[in-house]
A and B are shown apart, each in its own frame.
Chain A
Amino acid sequence: MASWTDMTFVLVVVIDLVLLASSRLGASIRVVALQGALLSLLALLLASPSHELGHVILVAGGALAIKAIFIPWLMFRAMREAAIRREVEPLIGYVPSLLLGGAGVALAFAFSRGLPLPTPEMHSFLVPTALATVWTGLLLVVSRKKAVSQVLGFLVLENGVFVFGLLLTGVMPVMVEAGVLLDLLAAVFVMGIVMFHINREFSSLDTDVLASLKD
């Protein structure tokens, strides 16, 4: 029976694929924000009576506030400072990125049944979605040339880890969850500051140009 949870998981994976194909940074950031919002929705949908209500609301609310609102705002600010609008042609091309992403999604969904898990699985789509999102995040970090896109890739990677973390909502103490979110926030904050300074010094956030720094 197809349910809203199914649809949400599918939408998360579709967002991954859209990110792999998109070259417009503004649209990509909005889409990652949407993915963050979907993840907070997932935290609510997957909650079962055995979980503490407060814990669930904290996780969902924290994800929404940080992933869907605050971090995208930071990214938009970084984009404005650096005055960039579009990604340049990535290292492996849009079509190969799409094909690799699609292959990763297919393999994740095909082979995830056999993975041993610490807790009983809440939903059969959870592990494959998490794996696919992590794969997409890594692909973005490795192949994109603009630093903003690489930060987006890192965000997607963290989203994937978050989905894994949903598996353990009933088991992990709130502190650890909050710690993870805080970690993410701090990392992005620092990356934003560093990008601002790099851009001010070298007038460019293109990593090809930055590669010449090694001498």
Chain B
Amino acid sequence: MIASLAIGAVGLAALSGLPGLLLRRRPALGQALSAAALCAAAALGGAAAASVLAGGGAVSVRWPWHEPYGSLALRLDSLGAFFLVPVLGVPALGSVYGLSYWPQAKHGYRAVRLQLFLGLAAAAMGLVVLADNALLFLVGWEGMAVCAFILVRSEDDRPEPLRAAWIYLASAHVGTFALFAFFSLLGSARGSFDFSAWRGMPAAGGGLLFALALVGFGIKAGLFPFHFWLPGAHAAAPSHVSAVMSGVVLKTGIYGLLRATGFFEAPPASWGAALLVAGAASGVLGVGFALTQHDLKRLLAYHSVENIGIIAMGVGIALVGRARSDATLVVLGFAGGVLHVVNHALFKSLLFFGAGSVAHATGTRDLERLGGLARAMPRTALLFLAGAAAISGLPPLNGFVSEWLVALGSLGGMGLARGDRAAFVVLGAPVLAFIGGLAAACFAKVHGAVFLGHPRSPAAQGAHESPAAMIGPMALLALACAAIGVFPALLVPALARAAAEWSGLPAGEALAAGAAAAASARGVTLVALTLLAVVVALAALRRPRARATAPVDTWGCGYAAPTARMEYTGSSFAQILVEGFRRVLLSRVELEAPHGLFPRSAHFATEVPELVLDRAILPAVRGGEVAAGRVRGLFSGHIHFYAFLVFVALVALLAWRFLWW
């Protein structure tokens, strides 16, 4: 029953784009039906996931398939259930958002195409999460990549999305290549490509396998240094597509990493350490780059890199725990990582929807041209603030809970034996605090530059509030963030059970660790409720006392004609931190210095290119092109040369056969 719910959800999602395609004459109705179909798919999937998580146990289904090595084996266990909810939920909310943001009436066939492939992408991701066979997994994986490619280049009348989409597709395929290698090696070791046959693989000599999995899934997840496709793709896509990509597509990479490491019996601590270090680097550098951005969506994309780093840190801690058979590390690291997957999907979608509303209302994404939007768009501003507080990890919202769990996991390293080098996972907690502090700084900058203060351009002055179809999904997401933040203890037992299933720990130990974490989580609830009560009390106490006089202009130290340009901008706000990071950012500076006593003109601009893409990969590719060009020059067109090459190859083969074999 549960299995058919899940399969039905995936199937419904796949077909959800059809109403828009078929009802071209009634675009509003077609789009609304598509959105409704996706929401129904999300509801079905959510029901299936909830029943598995509530203790129903894993369900699996298997059909014969005439593909060699393939079998239609589907399985929904607790790990998959945690991923299935955002995989179907975020596209559903995105399609509701798209009703007002990208209406079919305005964008015509582009909107139809978007709706069609959004549904297909959701279905492909659902297939990835449900698959129990490597080939089926790869089918879903490829489908997701291609659908995402088409979604990113939705606005194909501009050059930016086309370029970003190509870079995305190329990197995704490099990752898929690594995955093909990974699955082939595993399959040839066990003789079958079913995931069920791969349990209990010995980890000895598996270093190459782990490296392949890390590259393949890391590229999709956006771990540093494989994140280079992320900022361009997420900024260029329409906002609800960016929400889906940031919120869910990245997470399939994490899902893959969890599944891949779940196959091995006793992974060595070095795997966990590698993931922990990669996660820490992604976290710090992601938020470092985010501080420099003034394009709102690019900034949010870099924050996705940061949050994937936090998730990777959690998974790394869980792996170290498996190496040391420490239930606390495993349960807390896993719970923190997986809960952050869900939380990030929630608040990142919220933030991208907010960014979309801002772009929709003002026509620009540039932080230097926005400002003061909270007066015209109060509801959007409030919901965006909730998202900003959540992503900074502030209590009483959900970002705090998952970061708290990961921090507790890293502190669990103190329980290891004295002199055990793995105890250095303890340093993960201060790194997490650093990342959190930087994220809070960045989002103070973003919220301040976009919604507070004075409008910095006529575009910002002419803003209007978003329609209900755009506010509604945001409100729902904010509510979910608050609910998870105030009542985390509800989810901890399910997370502990999933951790036990994934790691193969004895169930008793895992549940005990989970119960301890749940008890602490109840403390968090108590404090969160107290905080809310105190805020309300103070606000009530303050209200009668704060008798305001007539409003005045902000004191600007006596300037005769203050303008909005005198306000602190986003770049100025981040200046101190960007200076601190300058050796890593390698920003480009354009300077035309003023000369003489009465300079004619002067010009100064800084730009921070995407480090890995613009400073490493593109120059390497260009170098490769140059080298290939030189080789091509050899082929001058003379037939004698080609015949000579054939002759040389023949001689070489014969020599090899007779001399070395």
Question: Do A and B touch (CB < 8 Å)?
Answer: yes
Binding site for B on A (CB under 8 A): 95-96, 110, 113
Q: Which A residues are in CB contact (< 8 Å) with B421?
A: 110
Docked pose: A96 CA to B583 CA in angstroms: 10
A96 contact set on B, CB distance < 8 A: 583
Measured between alpha carbons, how far is A182 from B201 in the docked complex, in Å?
63
Residues of B within 8 A of A (CB): 419, 421, 424, 580, 583
Choice from B419, B424, B580 contacting A113 with Cβ under 8 Å: B419
User: For residue B424, which residue of chain A has the nearest CB?
Assistant: A110
Please give me the residue from chain A that is nearest to B580 by CB atom. Answer: A95
Give Cα A110 to B426, complex, Å: 14
Residues of B within 8 A of A95 (CB): 580
Give Cα A96–Cα B581 distance, bound, in whole angstroms.
11
Bound complex: CA of A111 vs CA of B473, how far in Å?
53
Residue ID in chain B nearest A93 by CB atoms: B583
Question: Which single residue of chain B is at the shortest CB-CB distance from A95?
Answer: B580
Which residue from chain A places its CB closest to the CB of B423 in the assembled complex?
Answer: A110
Identity of the chain B residue whose Cβ is nearest the Cβ of A113 in the assembled complex: B419
Which A residues touch B580, using CB under 8 A?
95
Report the nearest A residue to B427, measured CB to CB: A106
> In the assembled complex, how far is the CB of residue B579 from the closest CB belonging to chain A, in whole angstroms?
11
Q: Which of A95, A96, A110, A113 has the most CB of B within 10 A?
A: A110
Closest residue of chain B to A96, judged by CB? B583
Q: Name the A residues within 8 Å of B424 (CB-CB).
A: 110
Instruction: Enumerate 5 A-B pairs (CB-CB under 8 Å) in ascending A order.
Output: A95-B580, A96-B583, A110-B421, A110-B424, A113-B419
Least Cβ–Cβ distance between B341 and chain A, in angstroms: 31
Q: What A residues does B583 contact at CB under 8 A? A: 96
Shortest beta-carbon distance from B224 to chain A in Å:
19
B244 vs chain A, min Cβ distance (A): 39
Give, as a whole number of angstroms, the nearest-CB distance from A127 to chain B: 15
Q: Determine the chain B residues whose CB is within 8 A of the CB of A113 once the complex forms.
A: 419
By beta carbon, the residue of chain B nearest A111 is B421
The CA of A106 and the CA of B240, in the complex, are separated in Å by 46
Once the chains are docked, how many angstroms separate the CA of A96 from the CA of B580? Answer: 10
Q: What residues of A have a CB within 8 angstroms of the CB of B419 in the complex? A: 113
CB distance from A29 to the nearest CB of B (A): 30
Q: Which residue of B lies closest to A110 (CB)?
A: B421
Whole-angstrom CA separation of A113 from B418 in the bound complex = 13
Q: How far is the CA of A95 from the CA of B583 in the complex (A)?
A: 12
How far is B580's CA from A113's CA once the two chains are assembled, in angstroms?
Answer: 36
The smallest C-beta distance from B277 to any residue of chain A, in angstroms, reads 13
What is the CA–CA distance of A169 and B583 in the complex, to the nearest angstrom?
45
Q: Give the distance to chain B from A146, nearest Cβ to Cβ, in Å.
A: 22
**In the bound complex, how far is the Cα of B592 from the Cα of A123, in angstroms?**
61
Q: Kindly provide the distance from the CB of A98 to the nearest chain B CB, expressed in whole angstroms.
A: 13
Report the minimum CB–CB distance from B84 to chain A (whole Å). 42
| Complex interface: chain B residues within 8 A of A110 (CB) | 421, 424
* Cα separation A95 to B577 with both chains bound (whole Å): 13
Shortest distance from the beta carbon of B586 to any chain A beta carbon, whole Å: 16
A96–B582 alpha-carbon span in the complex (Å): 12
**What CA separation (Å) do A176 and B368 show in the bound complex?**
69
